[in-house]
Chains A and B, each alone.
Chain A
């Protein structure tokens, strides 16, 4: 199993640009989570999906952030427009529904200049 796959690994973009982060969960896992990690705030849950349906998006910081899961094998997190304070490492994780033992991807390091 290839694990949770995220792309790109690194993204550098200018303020105001649109950024799209991608995630492929582990096959058979039907829950998917997006986390953001910064030194100041640690690991924060942004949103999670069960069976492709968003369940809790209370962690999404503002309307500039949106996430979709069009099918069981793909999810995106979009930031439009991006701002320097969005710079962080964004992790995607997946699990079987009802299970807490998430498997994390390697993350996308986003730098907004």
Chain B
């Protein structure tokens, strides 16, 4: 009964392909996030959704499109993958979009674009 689960754990794909990463949380939280950790290990927020509404978009290219079908899910779709998209992507959730509570992270999806 993992709190925040992402699939797949590993993803290897060719440049130009379109891929999706799925995230689900069973904590009843109303806010979900996507973070990207690059090869230098810097963790940076990409998106945040609160009650299915986008509240943060940190100047991420349009090729990245998050979709939140309900409060428990936040999926990340990436079009026309580029070599620079290779990274580990973490999904997270918290209760409330005002930073009052701790965030729970998934185990990450390691994306490799070749």
Is chain B a partner of chain A in the same complex? no
Binding site for A on B (CB under 8 A): none
Binding site for B on A (CB under 8 A): none
